[in-house]
């Protein structure tokens, strides 16, 4: 298959998608890049795993709440690495 990395967006900040920080739920997006050799990802192929863990308590500051956060309450779109138009 070739070597690829799936950890470019390896975590979610506390409060990501949380209603109290201006969100209404959020989609997790998998970012995959091939390394050295191009390859095709096929329908149904496993390329990673998403694990949710409950936090012990709310953080002092939630993602999106007055922090100038980039991704809170947005739909799916290309990464800032791509130029559109």
Question: At residue 4, does pLDDT exceed 60?
Answer: no
81 inside domain: no
Q: What's the total number of domains in the chain?
A: 1
- Label residue 6 left, alpha or beta by phi (over 0 means left) and psi (-120 to 50 means alpha): alpha
**Residue 6 or residue 26, greater confidence:** 26
Encode 29-72 in three state secondary structure.
CCCCEEECCCCCCCCCCCCCCCCCCCCCCCCCCCCCCCCCCCCC
42 inside domain: yes
pLDDT in tens, 20-62: 666 666 677 667 666 667 777 788 888 777 777 888 887 787 7
Predicted confidence at residue 71, as pLDDT, reads 67
* Structure-token pair, residue 4: 């690829």
38 inside domain: yes
Q: Is 4 helix (H, G, I), strand (E, B) or coil?
A: strand
Range(s) of the domain holding residue 21: 1-70
pLDDT in tens, 7-31: 566 567 777 776 666 666 667 766 7
């Amino acid at each position: 298959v070739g070597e690829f990395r799936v950890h470019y967006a390896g975590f979610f900040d506390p409060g990501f998608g949380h209603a109290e920080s201006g969100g209404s739920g959020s989609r997790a997006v998998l970012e995959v890049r091939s390394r050295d050799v191009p390859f095709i990802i096929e329908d149904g192929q496993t390329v990673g795993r998403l694990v949710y863990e409950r936090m012990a308590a709310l953080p002092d500051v939630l993602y999106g709440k007055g922090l100038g956060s980039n991704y809170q309450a947005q739909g799916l779109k290309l990464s800032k690495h791509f130029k559109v138009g």
